[in-house]
Structure 1
Amino acid sequence: MLLLQANNVERRFGADILFHNVNMQIDEHSRTALVGRNGAGKTTLLKMIAGITEPDEGTISKAHDLSIGYLAQDQGLDSQNNIWDELDSVFAPLHEMEKSIHQLEEKLSSIDSTTDEYQYIIQQYDHLQTTFKEQGGFEYASKMRGVLTGFGFGEDMYDLPINSLSGGQKTKLALAKILLQEPQLLILDEPTNHLDMNVLNWLEDYLRGYNGSVLVVSHDRYFLDHVVSQVYDLDNQTLTHYTGNYSAFTKEKADWLRAEMKHYDQQQKKIAKLEDFVNKNLVRASTTKRAQARRKQLEKMDRMERPTTDDSSIHFSFHSDKDSGNEVLDVENLKVGYNENVLAGPLSFKERKGQRIGIIGPNGIGKSTLLKTILKKQPAISGSIKLGANLEIGYYDQEQQQLHPDKTVLDEVWDDHPEVPETEIRSLLGSFLFVGDDVFKTVKELSGGQKARLELTKLSFQPINFLILDEPTNHLDIDSREVLETAINEFTGTVLFVSHDRYFLNQVATDILNMSSTGITHYQGNYDDFVNETSTLSQNEDKTTIPSTTQTSSKKSAGQQSYQASKQNQRARRKIQREVDKFEQEMDSLQAKHDQIEQQMSAPEVATDIAKLSDLQKQLDECQQQLDQAEENWTDAAERLEEFDQE
C-alpha cells in the first residue's frame, strides 16, 4: 500500500534552487534512508513530507488519515511532568476507555441481570473490552517499561522531572514518546545523536520490527546498514532512488558513476572524431557531402553532461617530523574522575607504535575524562600514565574548547603559524571547504560541522606522531567522515580515539578497548571483531537457554552472519586495494632507481670507465627485472580488484 508520494517537488530560496524534480514514494512497512551532504536540503525535504512546510512547486500526496510522527534534530521534550507521566500521556485514549469500562462495571453491579438495560450495558461493556484489548490496553505499561529500559531509563528514574534532565536525555525521551505513539509513518532526523552503542543496538532492533514505515536521515552508516532497505540520495539538487542498505547504495552509486563516465568519454571521443572529420573535409569538393552529413549528426546528437556528484568534501592528511619510540603509552591501575569522585578504574592498557586503538563504552563512563587525564588536562585520582619518547601529540576535542570563539577562522589558524604566508593558510582552509568570506567568520558563528572541520584544519597543519581523538566524527557529514578515515588509515603514527561511530571503528581500529566503571578490556581487531568475540563468549555462557529464545538467537545470528559476510567482503577488497597501492609505489620507486642508473651511465666520466659501466649495467638489468616483476604483480592485483568489483 502506498502511504505517501512526492511528485516534482521543488524548493527555492529567492533565485537559488535548493532542489527540484524531487520524486519519492513511501510504501507501507518500508525502511527508507534519505542521504546527502550537509546543506543539500534533507531536513527541508523532511519538513515538507511531514506537512510542516509546503513545496514551492510540485505536490506531496498522502494516504487518507495517514498518521505521521516527526522527530527533528536534537528535539528534546520540554515538560513539567515526570518521565512516566509524560510518556503515559500517549495512552490517554486508553485511560479514558479504561475509565468507561469501570463505570460500566459499577452500573452492571447495581442492575438486575434479567432486564433489557442490563443486556444493553453488557453489550457495550463487551464491545469496549474488546476494543481496549485490541488497542493494547493490557500492554501499554509493559511497552513503556520496554522502551524506557531500551533508552537507558531505569525504574528509579521514572519519577524524575523532565526539566531536570540533560539535553541528551530529553532528546532520548522525545524519541521514546514518538515510538510509543506508533504513527504509520515515522520520520526521524538524526535520531542516533546522543545515543551510546547499547541504545543504538536496541533502537536498530526496535525499528526493524516496527509495524509502520520509517523514513530516516542519519550520518550513522552502521545504523543505516542495519535498518534501511532503500536509499534516496539528494545529490546535485535532485533525488535518486537506490534499493538496498547504505553499503549497497554506495557501491551502486559508484558503479553508476563509472558507467556514466565511460559513456560520456565514449561520446566525447565520437564527437571529437566527427568534428575533426568535418573540419578537415567540409571544404573539399570530394568529401563535402560526407562532412555535411556528419555535421548534421553532431547537431542532432543528444549530448551527455559530464557526470558529477555533489560530494564536495574536505581533503587532508596528518604528518609527522619524526618517528616516536615503540612504547607510546602505558597506563597502569589508573582511576579517573573529578574531585576524588571516581568515574572509572582501575584501568590498565598499553599502546605501541602504529596501533589505532578505539575506546568504547556507555555514555558518562569517563572516556573523554580518560583522554584528558592522559594529556594531563585533568589530574589522575590514582595510578600511573607513562608516555613514550619523541612524541608529537595532536588532540581533537569533541567539545571544541581549543577554539577561540571571538577569533576569525583565518586568525584561528594563522595565529598559530604567523611565519606562514596568508595565501598558504587560505589554501589550507580551502581544502577544508572554508572559501571566500567564510575565512572571516568568527568561530562562534560557525556550525558544529564547521567547527569540527576547523579543528581538523589545525591538526593537519602541525607535526603529529601520536593522534588522540575524542568523538572525531560528531558533526561531520558522511563524505567528511570517509575522508577522515582515509587520513587516519594513511597516517604512519599511532592513534588513540573515543568513538561511538561503529562504522568508523570498523574502518580504522586495529584494537578495541571496552571501558566500564570498574575496568577496561582489550580486544584485537575492529568493532565487528569485538562483536563476534563478545557474542561467542555470550553464547558459550548461555547454552541452557530455553528453545524459543534459542530460535530468536539463531535468527539474530543469521542476520549477523550475513552482515559479517558483507564486512568480510569489504575487508577483502581493502586488502587487494592495499596490494595494488603497494605495487604502484614499488614500481614508482624502481622506475626512479632505473632512471638514476641510466643517468649515471650517461655521465662522461663513466662512459669511458668500462668496469664502472659494466657494474652499472648489472645494476640496471637487476633493477629492470625487479620492475618487470613489480609490474606483473601490480597487473595481477589490479585484475583481481576488477574481478572483485564485478562480482
Structure 2
Amino acid sequence: MILLQANQVARHFGGDTLFENIQMEIQDNSRIALVGRNGAGKSTLLKIIAGIDPADEGTISKVKNLSMGYLDQHTGLNSEQTIWKEMLTAFEALRQVEKRLHHLEEQLGNPDVMENPDVYNSILKEYDQLQHNFNEQNGYGYEAEIKAVLNGFRFDESFYDRDIASLSGGQKTRLALAKLLLEKPQLLILDEPTNHLDIETLAWLENYLQNYRGAILIVSHDRYFLDKIVNEVYDLSRRKITRYKGNYSRYLVLKEEQLLSDQKAFEKQQTEINKLEDFVARNLARASTTKRAQSRRKQLEKMDRLDKPLGDEKSARFLFSIEKQSGNIVLQSEDVAIGYDDTVLCSPVTLDIRKQEAIALVGPNGIGKSTLLKSLIKEIPLLNGTVSLGTNVSIGYYDQEQANLRSNKTVLQELWDEHPTTPEKDIRSILGSFLFSGEDVEKTVPQLSGGEKARVALAKLAMNKENFLILDEPTNHLDIDSKEVLENALIDYEGTILFVSHDRYFINRIATKVVELSENGSKLYLGDYDYYVEKKKEEEEIEQLMLAEEAKKNPETASTTPSTKNAFYQSKEEQRKIRSITRVIDDIEAQLAIIEEKTTTVQEEMSSPEHINDPGKLMDLQRELTTLETEQETLLEKWEEASLELEEHTN
C-alpha cells in the first residue's frame, strides 16, 4: 500500500532553484535512503515530506490518518520530565486503556454490579474487548520495551530518574530517537540518526530498524548503516531526483552505469548538434539550400538538450604525501593507562605500530579513544606506562573538535601563515583542490560550516607532509563524496595511519588492523572491520560452547554460579553505577561549598554597621539566609542518600 507520494515538488530560494520536479513514492514497507551532496536539499525535502515546511510547487499526498515520526539532525528531546516519565508518554493511549481496565476490574468486584446481570455482562464484555486489545498492543510488556530501547541507546537504570534538562546535547538527541522508536509511527523519517552513536549502539539500531514494521526514510552519511537498512535509494543531485533499486553499494554500481550511459548519450547528441549547427552556418545564406538550413535550425530549436553528466559538480582532490620516510617501527606503547586525573578509562593499552600500517581504534563512547590519541601526541599526560616513537617519525594530528581552527583568520591565511615561504598561487591551488576557490578563500573561519572547517583542517594536514597521521573522526561533517575522496587519498598514502572513526564503511576501506579498547585494556585484530566483527562473534560462540560444556560436566555448579561473561557485564555495570554515584556526590559537594560561601557572605552583611540599623534590609538578608539553609538541608539529605548508596555498591 502506498503511504505517501511526492508529486512535482519544488523548492526555490529567491531566483535560485534548490530542486524541482521531485517524484517519490513511499510504500508501507519501504526502506529508503535519500542521498546527495551537502547543500543538495536533502533535509529541506525531508521537512516538506514530513509536513513541517510547505513546498513551493507540487503536492504531498498521503493516506488518511498517516502517523509520521520525524527526527531532525540538529534537535534533541526537550522536556522538564525525567527520562522514564518522558518515555512513558509514548504509550499514553495504552496507559489510558490500562487505567480503564483497572476501573472495570473494580466495578466487576462491586457487589451491586454483581447482583445486576445485565450491567455485569455489559462491563465484562467491554473488559474482555479492552483486555484483548491491550494484550495485542503489548500492554503487559511496554515497560520492558522502554527498558530495552533505553538500554540499546546506552541509558541504563541509573539514568531513569535523571532530568532530561540536565543531559548533554548528544544524549538528548539519542533520547529523541528512542522516544520516536517507541511511538512506532507508520512512517519514520530520520535525518542523520547515526550522529552521537558509538559502533555498538549503531549495530543495535540497525537490528532494530531491520525489524521495524513501518516504512523508513533516512538521510545518513553512514554508508555501512545504509547498506544494512535500505533497499532503494533516491539520489538528489543537480536539482533532480533519481531512484535506484538496492542498497547503497548497489546504488553506487547502478549510478556509475547510468553516468556512463548518460555520457554516451550526451556525446552522441553533441555530435549531432555540431553537425546541424555547421550545416545551418554553411547553408542558410545560400538560396538553393536555405530551406533545408531553416529546417535544420527548427530541428535544433525543438531538440530536448541533455545536461552534461555531473555538469559543474566538483569533487575535492585530497592528496597526502610525505617529506621523509620513517623507520619500520613507528610507535610502541607498553602498559599504558589513559584517563583524567586519577580516573582510569582504559588500561593496559599495548600498541606496536609498523610503517605503512593503518590501524583503527574502536570501542564504546567514553572508553578513551580520543583521550588515547591526545595522550600519544602529549596533549594529555599518561596515567601510567611508556610510549616511544621510531626513527624519523613526524606526526600529523587531525582533531575532530577542530580546536586548531579557532582563529578569525581567513581560509587563505590559515594555510599561508603556517607556510609563509610557499607562493600564494600554490596555496590557492591546494585550497582549490579542497573545494575553496575564488572568494571562498577570503571567508573567515567562524563563517565556515562544519564540512568546510573539516576540509580546511585536512588541507592543513596535507601541506605538512608528515609520515604518521593520527586522525580523530576525520569523516565527521564530510558528505559521502568527500568521504570517498578522503578514503582514496589515505589508501594511496605511503605513511602510517592511526585513526578513530565510527564510520564502519571507512574502517573497512582503510584499516589493515583493528585495536579494540575496553575497560580491560586493548586487544588486536588482524583485519578490517568486517573481520573484527566476525572474530568477535566467533569468540562469543566459543565462550558459549565452553560454558555449555562446563554445564554438562558440573550441572550443580553451572546452575548456581553465574557465567564468567555475565559476571563481567555485572562488574562493568557495577563500575558504571559507582562512577555515576560518585559524580552525583561531587556535584552535591560543589553545590554545598557554594552555599557555604553565600551563607558566610550574608551573615557578614547582617552584622555590618551599614545594615545593623536597617530593619528592611535585615529582613531581606534573613529571608535569603533561611532559603540558603533550606537548600543546604535538602542537599545534605541527598548527599547522605548518595553516600549510603555508594557504600552499598563498594562493599
What amino acid maps onto 1:463 in structure 2? K
1:349-396: per-residue Cα shift (whole Å, max 9, x none)? 201001011111101100001011111111111101010111221110
- Residue 231 of structure 1: SS of its match in structure 2? strand
What amino acid maps onto 1:372 in structure 2? K
Q: What is the CA–CA distance in structure 2 between the aligned matches of 1:345 and 1:365, rounded to whole Å?
A: 10
Higher alpha-carbon deviation: 234-243 or 97-106: 97-106
Partner residue in 2 for 1:427? 429
TM-score by length of 1: 0.80
- Residue 240 of structure 1: SS of its match in structure 2? strand
1:542-561: per-residue Cα shift (whole Å, max 9, x none)? 34999xxxxxxxxxxxxxxx
Q: What is the CA–CA distance in structure 1 between the aligned matches of 2:494 and 2:234, rounded to whole Å?
A: 37
Deviation of residue 409 (structure 1)?
1.9
Partner residue in 2 for 1:574? none
- Residue 8 of structure 2: SS of its match in structure 1? strand
Partner residue in 1 for 2:78? 78
Partner residue in 1 for 2:635? none
Identity %: 55
- Residue 61 of structure 1: SS of its match in structure 2? strand
What amino acid maps onto 1:6 in structure 2? A
Q: What is the CA–CA distance in structure 1 between the aligned matches of 2:67 and 2:21, rounded to whole Å?
A: 26
Q: What is the CA–CA distance in structure 1 between the aligned matches of 2:273 and 2:312, rounded to whole Å?
A: 26
1:93-138: per-residue Cα shift (whole Å, max 9, x none)? 2222111111111111112245321122112222221222222211
Describe the shift of the 1:89–1:303 C-alpha distance in structure 2 as closer, same or farther (beyond 3 A). closer
Partner residue in 1 for 2:359? 357
CA RMSD of aligned residues (A): 2.3
Partner residue in 1 for 2:170? 168
Deviation of residue 332 (structure 1)?
0.7
- Residue 37 of structure 1: SS of its match in structure 2? coil
Number of residues of Structure 1 aligned to a counterpart in Structure 2: 546
Partner residue in 2 for 1:253? 255
1:42-93: per-residue Cα shift (whole Å, max 9, x none)? 1111111111110011111111000010010042112222211110111122
Deviation of residue 274 (structure 1)?
5.6
Deviation of residue 310 (structure 1)?
6.6
Q: What is the CA–CA distance in structure 2 between the aligned matches of 1:194 and 1:513, rounded to whole Å?
A: 21
Partner residue in 2 for 1:493? 495
Describe the shift of the 1:209–1:450 C-alpha distance in structure 2 as closer, same or farther (beyond 3 A). same
Does structure 2 conserve the Cα–Cα contact (< 8 Å) formed by 1:361 and 1:367? yes
Deviation of residue 250 (structure 1)?
1.1
What amino acid maps onto 1:440 in structure 2? E
Return 5+ residue gaps in structure 2 as ranges.
549-651
Partner residue in 2 for 1:326? 328
Partner residue in 2 for 1:624? none
Describe the shift of the 1:378–1:545 C-alpha distance in structure 2 as closer, same or farther (beyond 3 A). closer
Describe the shift of the 1:483–1:178 C-alpha distance in structure 2 as closer, same or farther (beyond 3 A). same
Describe the shift of the 1:83–1:435 C-alpha distance in structure 2 as closer, same or farther (beyond 3 A). same
1:160-189: per-residue Cα shift (whole Å, max 9, x none)? 222222221111111000000000111000
Counting only pairs closer than 5 Å after superposition, residues 56-71 of structure 1 correspond to structure 2 as 56-71=56-71
Partner residue in 2 for 1:304? 306
Aligned partner (choices 484, 504, 515) of residue 502 of structure 1: 504
Partner residue in 1 for 2:371? 369
Q: What is the CA–CA distance in structure 1 between the aligned matches of 2:408 and 2:298, rounded to whole Å?
A: 62
1:465-491: per-residue Cα shift (whole Å, max 9, x none)? 111100100111101101100110111
- Residue 337 of structure 2: SS of its match in structure 1? strand
Describe the shift of the 1:309–1:519 C-alpha distance in structure 2 as closer, same or farther (beyond 3 A). farther
Partner residue in 2 for 1:4? 4
Does structure 2 conserve the Cα–Cα contact (< 8 Å) formed by 1:452 and 1:476? yes
Describe the shift of the 1:294–1:341 C-alpha distance in structure 2 as closer, same or farther (beyond 3 A). same
- Residue 542 of structure 1: SS of its match in structure 2? helix
Higher alpha-carbon deviation: 117-126 or 62-71: 117-126
Describe the shift of the 1:38–1:509 C-alpha distance in structure 2 as closer, same or farther (beyond 3 A). same
Q: Does 1:50 align with 2:50?
A: yes
Higher alpha-carbon deviation: 284-293 or 140-149: 284-293
Q: What is the CA–CA distance in structure 2 between the aligned matches of 1:62 and 1:25, rounded to whole Å?
A: 10
Partner residue in 2 for 1:526? 528
Partner residue in 1 for 2:605? none
Does structure 2 conserve the Cα–Cα contact (< 8 Å) formed by 1:8 and 1:59? yes
Counting only pairs closer than 5 Å after superposition, residues 136-535 of structure 1 correspond to structure 2 as 136-273=138-275, 301-308=303-310, 311-535=313-537
Describe the shift of the 1:514–1:288 C-alpha distance in structure 2 as closer, same or farther (beyond 3 A). same
- Residue 227 of structure 2: SS of its match in structure 1? helix
1:606-642: per-residue Cα shift (whole Å, max 9, x none)? xxxxxxxxxxxxxxxxxxxxxxxxxxxxxxxxxxxxx
Deviation of residue 296 (structure 1)?
7.0
What amino acid maps onto 1:202 in structure 2? W
What amino acid maps onto 1:433 in structure 2? L
Partner residue in 2 for 1:90? 90
Q: What is the CA–CA distance in structure 2 between the aligned matches of 1:299 and 1:437, rounded to whole Å?
A: 37
Describe the shift of the 1:309–1:88 C-alpha distance in structure 2 as closer, same or farther (beyond 3 A). farther
Partner residue in 1 for 2:576? none
Does structure 2 conserve the Cα–Cα contact (< 8 Å) formed by 1:37 and 1:310? no
Describe the shift of the 1:506–1:288 C-alpha distance in structure 2 as closer, same or farther (beyond 3 A). same
What amino acid maps onto 2:515 in structure 1? L
Q: What is the CA–CA distance in structure 2 between the aligned matches of 1:156 and 1:294, rounded to whole Å?
A: 78
Deviation of residue 220 (structure 1)?
0.1
Q: Does 1:540 align with 2:542?
A: yes
Deviation of residue 445 (structure 1)?
2.4
Partner residue in 1 for 2:33? 33
Partner residue in 2 for 1:635? none
Q: What is the CA–CA distance in structure 2 between the aligned matches of 1:55 and 1:243, rounded to whole Å?
A: 26
Deviation of residue 438 (structure 1)?
2.8
Q: What is the CA–CA distance in structure 1 between the aligned matches of 2:57 and 2:285, rounded to whole Å?
A: 51
TM-score by length of 2: 0.80
Q: What is the CA–CA distance in structure 2 between the aligned matches of 1:293 and 1:65, rounded to whole Å?
A: 56
What amino acid maps onto 1:426 in structure 2? R
Partner residue in 2 for 1:582? none
Does structure 2 conserve the Cα–Cα contact (< 8 Å) formed by 1:281 and 1:291? yes
What amino acid maps onto 1:208 in structure 2? Q
Describe the shift of the 1:129–1:314 C-alpha distance in structure 2 as closer, same or farther (beyond 3 A). same
Does structure 2 conserve the Cα–Cα contact (< 8 Å) formed by 1:359 and 1:515? yes
- Residue 69 of structure 2: SS of its match in structure 1? strand
What amino acid maps onto 1:462 in structure 2? N
Deviation of residue 207 (structure 1)?
0.6
Q: What is the CA–CA distance in structure 1 between the aligned matches of 2:308 and 2:66, rounded to whole Å?
A: 41
- Residue 114 of structure 2: SS of its match in structure 1? coil
Deviation of residue 236 (structure 1)?
0.4
1:127-165: per-residue Cα shift (whole Å, max 9, x none)? 221222222211211111110111111122212222222
Return 5+ residue gaps in structure 1 as ranges.
547-647
What amino acid maps onto 2:66 in structure 1? L
Deviation of residue 520 (structure 1)?
0.9
Describe the shift of the 1:398–1:498 C-alpha distance in structure 2 as closer, same or farther (beyond 3 A). same
What amino acid maps onto 2:490 in structure 1? I
Deviation of residue 38 (structure 1)?
0.5
Higher alpha-carbon deviation: 301-310 or 254-263: 301-310
Does structure 2 conserve the Cα–Cα contact (< 8 Å) formed by 1:466 and 1:493? yes
Does structure 2 conserve the Cα–Cα contact (< 8 Å) formed by 1:113 and 1:119? no
Deviation of residue 508 (structure 1)?
0.8
Q: What is the CA–CA distance in structure 1 between the aligned matches of 2:443 and 2:115, rounded to whole Å?
A: 80
Deviation of residue 432 (structure 1)?
1.7
What amino acid maps onto 1:410 in structure 2? L
Deviation of residue 289 (structure 1)?
9.2
Does structure 2 conserve the Cα–Cα contact (< 8 Å) formed by 1:354 and 1:494? yes
Describe the shift of the 1:514–1:310 C-alpha distance in structure 2 as closer, same or farther (beyond 3 A). farther
Q: Does 1:119 align with 2:121?
A: yes
